[in-house]
Structure 1
Amino acid sequence: MAKVIGCSLIIKDDFHNILLLKKKVKRGEVEVWSLLTQKLRGKESHDKCIARGAKDILKSVIFDVEPVKEYIVNSDEDECVMVYTGRIKEKAVLDKAYKECKWIGYRNLEDYNILPYEKQILLDFFEK
């Protein structure tokens, strides 16, 4: 069984759209859209990891959190992230390390530069 190193959160709305985040990058680096992802700290529970990520990155509280499944992020080290879905009930106020956030649907998924494993997570989510 793979070692869980972090938690990712698919933030969804009532119209089956999801929230993507774009971090600020240094000159020359490629801008990538991503899910809200946090690394686990020590013996921290998954619930606390997700709550901390939402509080630190979105300045918000997450509701209706449900587990989805584990996804491998590094097969050489046998590391994975645990993916959850959840909702926010207020406008997201991004941390200063993030440039922007956007609500997107399945039709728009190909228009964004998303990490390969996160794109697979989103494809699986939209196929449900």
Structure 2
Amino acid sequence: MPLGKHAKIAIGWTACTTLGIYLFYLSKTSVDKRRYENMKIRERMRLANVEGDAQKLQLMQELEIEMMADMYNRLTTACHKKCIPPVYNDAEIAKGEAVCIDRCVAKFLDIHERIGKKLGQLSMQDEQLLKK
């Protein structure tokens, strides 16, 4: 028995609603995970300020490695999403894709460096204000 017009609309709305709820759940989970990771980083930084010099150095090195890994993961995700089509037509990277990836990585690293410098300046200003 074929479905009527209203049944097809109801099925469509149900599918859209279910998909929307699922996508909302995924985005909320991603945000919660990122917040949790940031809390862990802040906690490790706080512990680094309390503990001895050797432990402090080791924690700071581990933190730097984690931050670089996070930056690399964000870079690869962003540039892959921007430059590589979701359906692969060829096993090799095309010239246009390679150029796009090069530019994307260069821009990403440039912005990352600029933000790092600005945050360094701000933290130095904060330290100077605290000393006064």
TM-score, length-scaled by structure 1: 0.18
Q: Which has the larger radius of gyration?
A: 2
Which structure shows the higher strand fraction? 1
